[in-house]
């Protein structure tokens, strides 16, 4: 097929040329200042991330978040909160790839469909550390220029003009919330 064939056209456009999704679980260990007696709560906040294309393999998501663990110590007589920032790198492989991309300029998008979330938080290593199991999930897309081939209709486009009817009839219910003194109130407020 070449340019002499008038039944097809090649169109260059930006399109999603790669897509991937990854769910992951991992364990973070936190060492508090005091030997914990029990865990009272755990939450993850301040999640920040960005993504970049990593060769032909996929998209690397680089980010960090803060883990806050509220715990008791001194035989459950005192409490404290320990905070730790955790950095991570996730390689999200592309399950859908278009190898017909025209150049090496890409736009990469990542969305956390499951923000980092604490699954389990417990005391380990003879009470010296806190073990936090975290889950998260990302969806990534790579956008680039690609070429599409479309068939041209030899008869051209026929556009039928359709006269649309608009029904503007009003009912009594349309007026029930109308304030008849609206304009008078506005004039008096000036």
Nearest C-alpha neighbor of 69 from the set 121, 33, 127: 121
> Each residue of 85-118: pLDDT tens digit?
999 999 999 987 777 777 778 899 999 999 999 9
The per-residue pLDDT for 186 is: 55
Nearest C-alpha neighbor of 75 from the set 128, 124, 34: 34
In whole angstroms, give the CA distance from residue 7 to residue 1: 10
Domain ranges of the chain: 8-151
Q: What percent of the chain has pLDDT over 70?
A: 88
Name which residue leads in pLDDT, 20 or 177. Answer: 20
In whole angstroms, give the CA distance from residue 85 to residue 82: 10
Provide mean pLDDT across the span 23-40: 94
Q: Which of 60-64, 99-103, 107-111, 139-143 is the least confident region?
A: 99-103
Query: In the sheet that 58-73 helps form, which strands lie side by side, from edge to edge?
Result: 36-54, 58-73, 78-93
Provide mean pLDDT across the span 163-168: 69
Highest mean pLDDT among 9-13, 151-155, 178-182: 9-13
pLDDT at position 4 over 90: no
In whole angstroms, give the CA distance from residue 43 to residue 70: 9
pTM of the complete model: 0.70
Helix-strand-coil split of the chain, %, nearest 5: 5, 60, 30
Question: Would you say 110 and 59 are in contact if contact means Cβ atoms under 8 Å apart?
Answer: yes
**pLDDT band at 59; cut points 50, 70, 90:** very high
């Amino acid at each position: 097929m070449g340019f002499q064939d008038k039944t097809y056209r090649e169109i260059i456009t930006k399109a999603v040329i790669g897509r991937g999704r990854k769910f992951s679980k991992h364990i973070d260990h936190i060492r508090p200042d005091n030997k914990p007696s029990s865990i009272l709560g755990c939450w993850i906040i301040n999640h920040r991330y960005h993504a970049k294309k990593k060769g032909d393999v996929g998209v690397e998501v680089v980010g960090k978040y803060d883990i806050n663990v509220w715990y008791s110590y001194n035989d459950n007589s005192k409490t404290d909160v320990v905070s730790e920032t955790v950095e991570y790198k996730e390689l999200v492989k592309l399950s859908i790839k278009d190898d017909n991309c025209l150049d090496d300029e890409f736009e990469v998008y990542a969305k956390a469909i499951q923000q980092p979330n604490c699954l389990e938080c417990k005391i380990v290593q003879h009470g010296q550390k806190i073990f936090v199991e975290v889950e998260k999930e990302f969806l990534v897309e790579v956008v680039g220029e690609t070429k599409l081939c479309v068939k041209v209709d030899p008869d051209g486009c026929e556009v039928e003009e359709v006269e649309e009817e608009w029904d503007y009839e009003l009912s009594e219910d349309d007026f029930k919330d109308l304030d008849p003194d609206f304009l008078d109130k506005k004039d008096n407020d000036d």
